[in-house]
Structure 1
Amino acid sequence: MNPFEMVVLIVAIVGISSVLKARYGVVRHKGEDIYVGSPREQADAQRLRGEVQDLKDRIAVLERIVTDGDRNRSIALEREIEALRVEKEAR
């Protein structure tokens, strides 16, 4: 393969890959490929991000409830959680 054919092949590969990236909605942002998707997919992704953040907030509150406060309440809560776990396994 002579150098001219190699240059043409490299240019063709780069061109085809950029067309495929554009076709499938992938853009390069700060050195990383990001899938853009359709507006509906973006809305779903944003909704899911919000749900994940809400769940993280709820977990933080539950951790604070369990770890803070008096020891007796914590022990009672542990027993309730264990009872629910056993009940779920029994089903």
Structure 2
Amino acid sequence: MDLGILVPLAPFLMVLGIVWIVKHSKLEEKRLAATASQTAEQAAQYSSRVAELEQRVQVLERIVTDRGYDIATQIEALRDKREVEERDTGVPLRMPNRENA
């Protein structure tokens, strides 16, 4: 192939290259904008969830600090109650009729 033919075509090839680069950069810019928008939306959702969890932790901290060791006593009382219910003998609580006796 003769290089003499490429010399007159060089400006056209350069224009085609520039058009391709500009078009490619605009597509990339659109892709980046879409990704940034999606990332910002996810960040807002995460931020909202973190704020909700922080509020819940604050409530738990308040409960623990306000009631102190009373919580442990209440938990043990609930465990004791459950143990009594599990060991139920099945004896009815109704009193026998005196007429039948």
TM-score, normalized by the shorter chain, greater than 0.5? no
Between Structure 1 and Structure 2, which shows a larger proportion of strand residues? 1
* TM-score, scaled relative to structure 1: 0.43
Between Structure 1 and Structure 2, which shows a larger proportion of helix residues? 2
* TM-score, scaled relative to structure 2: 0.40
* Structure having greater relative contact order (Cα 8 Å, sep ≥ 6): 1
